[in-house]
Amino acid sequence: MNLGDQHDLEEHPGEEASPVPGVPVEEPGGPMERVEFQEEFNFHDGCWTFPRRGRRVCILFMTIGLMAGIGVGIWLLVLLFRTNALLKILQQESIVSCTEKPLTPTESKSVSFRINTRDFLLEVQVKAWPGWLLVCHEGWSPALGTQICEHLGHLRLSYHKGVNLTDIKVSNSQEFAQLLPRLGSHLEEIWQHRNSCALGQVVSLKCSECGVQHLNSRVLGGTSAVPGRWPWQVSMFKGPQYSCGGSLLAPSWVVTAAHCVYRLSHMSRWRLFVGIVNRSDIVLHMGAVVEKIVLHPSFRNHRQRHDYDIALLKLQTPLNFSNTVRAVCLPEMQQDFPQGSKCWVSGWGSTVPHRGYGSDTLQNALVPLISSQLCNSSCMYKGMITPQMLCAGYLDGRTDACQGDSGGPLVCLDRGIWRLVGVVSWGWDCGKRHRPGVYTKVAAFLDWIHHQIGGE
């Protein structure tokens, strides 16, 4: 981690020739003699061949032509100077535009959810109504619970139940939301405002656990991580050779970059390790075995461009979660982390550009998100950033992901939960000015991820 494919003229001396063929050369010391060539060469004396009146007209036209020529020349010179000045201004503006613009507030979502961590009560906020509303249990279903958990960035619904309002402390001003009998509608369209719940019960639910660290300790430009800092970090070995990074989404599922695995010929050669910090501690035959690799169907591997660069790996045996082995959360539906958000990238990649070997210890580094508009500008990646990509890093280089970090996580902290915002994908060199790291944008693949894992 660089936290960090004309001719020469020929001369003939000694030869003496007349300047014009047929013109005699003056003999040295001889008298000067004017030679007339008018008839031989069809030359004429211009205006002087006209009568006196015609001569004046001719001279007038010549003067006008000369003045016009001078005017055109001056106009061309002015145009040239103005063009050069304009080019300098454009160059200066392009340099100025290579900076992040101030953050602009994003429009709030039409519907938001949260789960009270004290008693796991579900709350909904609908744009049309102020405040957070408890959800009445009438019309509730497990399918809706799964849908809400996925909306919140979790893979599964763990449990749900109805809780009596008499068993919990609810303020007199508390308001509620009740489900409309249209379960096939969008989540933002199925709620109606209520002052109370007819059955006196509200929904309590819990989603699959993710995005939580056991430790709160603190890649060129990076620092060494400690066990438990990034419990979802996966180290992928192909045979005895370290290959790529990955992120644990669930006990049986890992997400990585498609370019890490698309040329795989023997799936059984892969071994995946989670919960380790030092590669020297790895015992190769003890790693998790890959049962299935799912490439995104739109992935195409280009020489300098990796679009749809994402893949899912299913493990033969589910992993046991612990203080050092945990899943990372996905982004919420329609969640957009703004430019400048401070996120972390981690991996065992090279700490020095163009070095074939990586770091023995897991490295991590803080990198800010860069807007796609800036990253796509002429001073950076010149239109190569697609909607399935995002950029993170510093405009002056320094900290960056590098060779060997591919497939690893870019995570951002959101209200105490770590979310997988990007997958290390590609970049032009490591840690170079105006060449930030490019990541697969996980938020663009949420439906695909839930479809693949939910189908299992």
Give per-residue pLDDT as tens, 246-268.
Answer: 999 999 999 999 999 987 757 88
Give the neighbor-by-neighbor strand order of the sheet with 191-194: 111-115, 122-126, 133-135, 176-179, 191-194
Confidence of residue 172 (pLDDT cuts 50, 70, 90): confident
Distance CA 287, CA 316 (A): 11
* Mean pLDDT, range 354-368, rounded to an integer: 79
For 71-187, strand residue ranges (E) read: 111-115, 122-126, 133-135, 157-164, 176-179
Query: How far apart are alpha carbons 325 and 229 in whole angstroms?
Result: 10
Q: CA–CA separation, 325 vs 392, rounded Å?
A: 26
Query: In angstroms, what CA-CA distances link 454 with 147, 311, 447?
Result: 11, 15, 10
pLDDT, tens digit (0-9, with 9 covering 90-100), for 89-98 = 444 444 445 6
* Catalytically annotated residues: 259, 309, 406
**Please, what are the domains in the chain?**
111-207 (3.10.250.10), 223-454 (2.40.10.10)
Summarised one tens digit per residue, pLDDT across range 198-210 is 999 999 999 999 9
C-alpha 324/C-alpha 362 separation (Å) is 13
Residue 93's pLDDT is: 42
346's CB contacts (< 8 A; 6+ apart) are 1, 219, 225, 230, 233, 245, 362, 363, 364, 365, 405, 408, 409
Mean pLDDT of 293-321: 87
Alpha carbon separation from 240 to 233, 247, 348 (Å, rounded): 19, 20, 15
* Token output for 416: 């105490």
Instruction: Identify the weakest region by mean pLDDT among 23-32, 184-193, 201-210, 407-416.
Output: 23-32
